Structure 1
Amino acid sequence: MKWSFQGRWIIGAFSLTLLLMGLVTFASFKNTSEIQRGADRVQQTYQTLNTLTNFYAAMTAAESARRGYIFLGNTQDLQRHQNELINMHSELRVLEEQIHPSLSQQQRLQRLESLVKQRLALLKESIELYQQDTTAISPQNNITDRSVKLREEILQVMAEIKTEEQSYLNNSLEESDNSIRFRILIEIIGTILSLAVIASLCIVLERQWVKREKIESLEVSLAQEKEFGELKLRLFSMISHEFRTPLSIILLSSQLLKEILEDLVDEKQLKNLYRIQSSAKLINHLLTDILTLTRAEVGQLDYKPQLINVENFCLNLVEDLQLFSTTRHLIEFMNLGQLFRANLDEKLLYSILSNLLLNAIKYSFVGGNISLILNSEAENIVFQVIDKGIGIPLAEQEKIYEPLYRCQNVENIVGTGLGLAVVKKCVERHQGEITVESQVGVGTKFTVKIPHTIC
């Protein structure tokens, strides 16, 4: 029966790991698609700007050819004028297809077409006038003046179109840059997780690191992104195999040994067995923190509130941490309000309070007291964790929620720097807030406020 339970536990943990990897791979694939679409928008904007330049060149050439025909009577200039008119119309048709489909740009395009139509009519009128009377200088000058004014208006409209297209271009480049930064963040998280793998995987991690650097040089390539997703899938598969499976065996085996030996030996002889169980649970807690932080970073952190007895939850948590703690710290729980039940996500609440209490134990002096206080306000449920430990320097209190950040005064105390980052993400998922009051050498108080009613 126990082995059957272990098998279900392994399958569940493996399935959960595969689900997480699928979510991370999906996020990376979607991010790459956004980068590709951004690149397409950038290319289209450049083409639009190039079309405007070609149109202006054709308009200038048409005007030059008209003047050559009128002043020199050269029929080749007339033919060149007609060809440039065709080029202008062609460029306008291309511009209609390329220009950004916003209302303002469409209105400017209509204005441009109207002005071009008027100017072409003037050019045609000038040529016809010349063909009727080559000596009509004054009317020709009048037409030229009107044509110049129209050209200035056309240039102004083209400048407005170019300005807005340039704005769209800058926005597209910025979006692409943000997408690249987001993907790099995902890759960094993958690298951090890889550092936690046992020594036997170092060679594999080195190869993956080399591959990851090659992938970074081809960030806009969809094929490379798919390959990177496969690498991350293999990485998480190895993490599941190398950590979760032996960890479950350690916990199960130690529990079986405890059941067998607790009636045969005294409590002191079982002390090492308790240490094994405690260490295994801490490793499991670390893996849970890593997975929770990863889910939060990709926006896939599950939130399933349900009505729970908060007081009993806190008592069970304190008892669990006290039982498996290898230090001589006393954890005291106090309920200062009348709150007993609340709608909360039990898993996220466990991550919040267990990380805060474990930090309090880790950074407190041996034998120091730790308090967990439950209280209630008009709109919030309030949890406070208070210790009398080494404290947090004031200058570093704004940085403690950053992943992997550790204060300068931790010295040789072992830690990962993930706990408070996980707490912050879980509190935010509850739409709550966390604050800290601390003084070096005196102690620290963390206060978590979670709204009673969350929409």
Structure 2
Amino acid sequence: MPATSIKILLIEDNLAEARLLQEYLKQANGNQFSLVHVKRLGEALNRLKEDCFDIILLDLTLPDSQGLESLAPLNSHAPSLPIVVLTNTNDEKLAIEAVRQGAQDYIVKRQLNVDLLVRSIRYAIERSQVMEALREANEALEIRVQERTAELVKAKEVSQMKSEFVSMLSHDFRNPLTTILLSTGFLQNHDDKLTKETKLTHFLRMRSAIKNMDQLLNEVLLIGKADLGKLQYQPTQLALEPFCRQLVEELQLSTGEKHFTIVFTCQGELGEALWDENLLRHILGNLLANAIKYSPEDETVWFELIGQEKTVIFRIQDRGIGIPLEDQKRLFQPFNRARNVSTIPGNGLGLAIVKKCVEAHGGQISVQSEAGVGTTFTVILPLASATVKSD
């Protein structure tokens, strides 16, 4: 932290102890602390209205306040300001309760020295900044959810389908939001008792949950753009065969511990042609990922690329759980999933996105499937300003 950047509000009625704390701060390397001392809680609340501070050092025995009852009014006046509690009692229950009520740290005065005081101040400020950043991130994420949901609602007629759409979207946000709330609450309530490894685990969980929500929002936005006719087709020169091989390699690296085999074959000598790489990635990535997800362990997925004079055919076949006939009619509708997926995770947006991207290419998609036997998806896309190599 830069020098002279930390402004401290000390609430301590004992002048000798206040002078000792001030002397400790003067001894700190860089002397980067400035201290304002008040003797009563009421004085502190008035100073918080008039001035800005980086941290509060709070004695628990004051003429106008006793024990932890000082925390509530301080948190009310300055909710984001970190508080370090100072006390003469080495009471673990009191320490835990102080942290639960909003304090960032707890120091026993007779154990105090320069290093402990400085370290506690710095750590308290850093922890408070992390929690504030998480709170702001959650608020921003909530606003983003509301904004993007509003865009979708405006794009649809008032109908039963819209109601079901919003309901499903809210349901899919609930799990990652719950993960974020539980982890932030646990960190706030037990921060001083947690190891660095445990804290890191919770931060990684929150990051993963936010990433999942962001991915879902992006998928919903793509569906919304397609419904409004704003899904743009932006073709560039692309060699299909190496693109498909690279996509297979990426999938094999990203599926974790699940063992599977993708057999990729190519018929016809395909040269470079005009394709929208982003839309193709949505189409083939979703279909291949689904084939893997709904297939048993150690199963094989077949991926065929067939070049013809005016079209290219992509065929993806699996021997997974299959799709019941009655579910195939609604297969490409948003948030629609077959009834036999059981506990396999998913939000029902993948195939809706695939169909929109196929249509943006001016192509067609079809499915052949039988429950318990397997599924074959066939995508036929027209060649645009492309050359097919011939022998």
**Structure 2 length-normalised TM:** 0.49
- Structure with greater Cα Rg: 1
Structure with the bigger RCO (C-alpha within 8 Å, sep 6+) is: 1
Higher helix share: 1
Hey, which of these two has a bigger chunk of strand by percent? 2
